[in-house]
Structure 1
């Protein structure tokens, strides 16, 4: 599906809470019909057959830190499945690649057992995405790294400030970026969202959270058609998380990365951009996505970059 270039698009309320009532449910990996990893599922409560979005958390973060974001997406008529891939991990993402494939293969058989009555997952309309290291993992799965295959086909791919290591030449294994334009070999639409402050240091003791050379710019440069790239100018690498993120890691999320004072505008933008993109490539309705490109003054923050390769 290639977006149509319709005239004078009207931006829908993708940046506001949608029309569906939602719930957040935890599914442990030790229950009957259990998934390969613990899950956080955001789902509409009304009856329907809804597209799926498999969402991967960032480095050392908890899936619960994205509760407000995934509920926003679910309120627009999507089922969002957010696994907890690990709690402690080294630089290698091989285990996360395998776990993501295993969860994908579980969805068709196991997911419906944990959804509200009359809520059905449409496994033929499936998107994959992630934040930071989770964004890299999503791209690695899409690229079939480590010869990974899945029973279900992804139709859309999303990277939220994806990061492929510490610096160019210091990629974490397995590397994803090749530094060859449009070299990614996958057959699906892609959206890359970047943070304008992600490449800046919060303080001299810590490196940037999304360093130049391994960040959103490089991921977008290697995407094939159709691909979209939006960068929020004055927001940081973790500004799409919940307002309150508990525990030591949650408190540290405000200290490690350069950030804006309020997370809400970035979270609203990321949620709305994802909704518009999923509507375009899972539901064949590109009006809202085109409107972000053509009327950026209507989004809840200042965009530094608006690019599409279609």
Structure 2
């Protein structure tokens, strides 16, 4: 395990929050078993990146599980994770796989296993004064991770804990309508998702546009955020970030071959920080509203009284 920390700066949801934060890596059961003893805490089913308020903050905090996009690394979301954590949340970002085919069933199963591990295992890896409140558990996913999050919320994986809120960050269910990857999530029946929880769907304004003729758009029409939101029931909200792309919420510097590819495969905005802070802010506002009962920031954003670093071309609510 390793950790790093940063100091909080401000209270606006689009800025770093009031908590100093730390980032913790936890190895999976497969790796940990080589060095395990009878006193070793139960390791998670998959490697985790955990963002949390620092030990000196103390307290009990709601938990967000964040599922990464297709063939991306959880570390690419470090800055987004720390942004959310700085506002008083514990963020769990598993590395669901390193190589994957078109079928998302295995990652849905893995995400369910991680959810089931939280009650028994998570507390052993957190500082003693940072306590997870698993009665306030939210689930989020980006790209194909968004599809997996919706699938899990639709009970396509067995979990022992109940999710209280669902967030899809530019979710994608395949290549096109009629070309969904298994297991298909979209039904194309309006308001058909029987989720039993509040939902927020976030889209990217450039996600439907090809970066170059050799590759399809990263969030194609017919299987993207618009279609997911169309199947949501109340309460639900939909934000689309104008002039930014499908991967613009990732870290400023994503390293390695995969990291470099994130700049080449999708149509991008001018820089990542405005998109990332905007998404981080609306995630915080949404979770404050539906996990903590504080609707102030979400309503201020809805009414245009709290301005994001990037412009929202769509803000709509189902009530």
- Please give the TM-score of this superposition, normalised by the length of structure 2: 0.92
Q: Which residues of structure 1 form unaligned runs of 5+?
A: 1-11
Of 63, 66, 73, 2:77 maps to 66
Of 302, 305, 309, 2:314 maps to 305
Show the counterpart of 1:134: 145
1:150 aligns with 2:159: yes
SS in 2 for 1:298: coil
For residues 8-23 of structure 1, the aligned pairs below 5 Å read 13-23=12-22
Query: Can you list the C-alpha shifts for 1:179-213, whole angstroms capped at 9, x where unaligned?
Result: 01100011000000000000000011110000010
Of 250, 262, 265, 1:253 maps to 262
Structure 2 contact 142–171 (Cα < 8 Å) conserved: yes
In structure 1, distance between residues paired with 2:306 and 2:126: 38
In structure 2, distance between residues paired with 1:201 and 1:163: 15
1:24 aligns with 2:23: yes
In structure 1, distance between residues paired with 2:159 and 2:184: 20
SS in 1 for 2:128: coil
1:49 aligns with 2:60: yes
Structure 2 contact 300–306 (Cα < 8 Å) conserved: no
1:231 aligns with 2:240: yes
Structure 1: which 4+ aligned runs deviate by more than 6 Å? none
Question: What's the Cα RMSD here?
Answer: 0.9
SS in 2 for 1:166: coil
Q: Which residues of structure 2 form unaligned runs of 5+?
A: 1-10, 33-39
Structure 2 contact 297–306 (Cα < 8 Å) conserved: no
In structure 2, distance between residues paired with 1:278 and 1:248: 34
Query: Can you list the C-alpha shifts for 1:37-66, whole angstroms capped at 9, x where unaligned?
Result: 000000001110000000000000000000
- Please give the TM-score of this superposition, normalised by the length of structure 1: 0.95
SS in 1 for 2:317: strand
Show the counterpart of 2:303: 294
Provide closer, same or farther for how the CA distance between residues 175 and 41 of structure 1 changes in structure 2, counting only shifts above 3 A. same
Higher relative contact order (CA 8 A, sep 6+): 1
1:100 to partner: Cα distance? 0.6
Show the counterpart of 1:39: 48
Show the counterpart of 2:8: none
Query: Can you list the C-alpha shifts for 1:148-171, whole angstroms capped at 9, x where unaligned?
Result: 221110000000000000000000
For residues 114-263 of structure 1, the aligned pairs below 5 Å read 114-145=125-156, 148-263=157-272
1:297 to partner: Cα distance? 6.5
In structure 1, distance between residues paired with 2:252 and 2:108: 29
1:285 aligns with 2:294: yes
1:302 to partner: Cα distance? 1.3
Structure 1 contact 296–303 (Cα < 8 Å) conserved: no
1:129 to partner: Cα distance? 0.5
SS in 1 for 2:134: strand
1:273 to partner: Cα distance? 0.3
Of 115, 120, 126, 1:104 maps to 115
Structure 1 contact 59–132 (Cα < 8 Å) conserved: yes
In structure 2, distance between residues paired with 1:178 and 1:212: 15
In structure 1, distance between residues paired with 2:15 and 2:244: 19
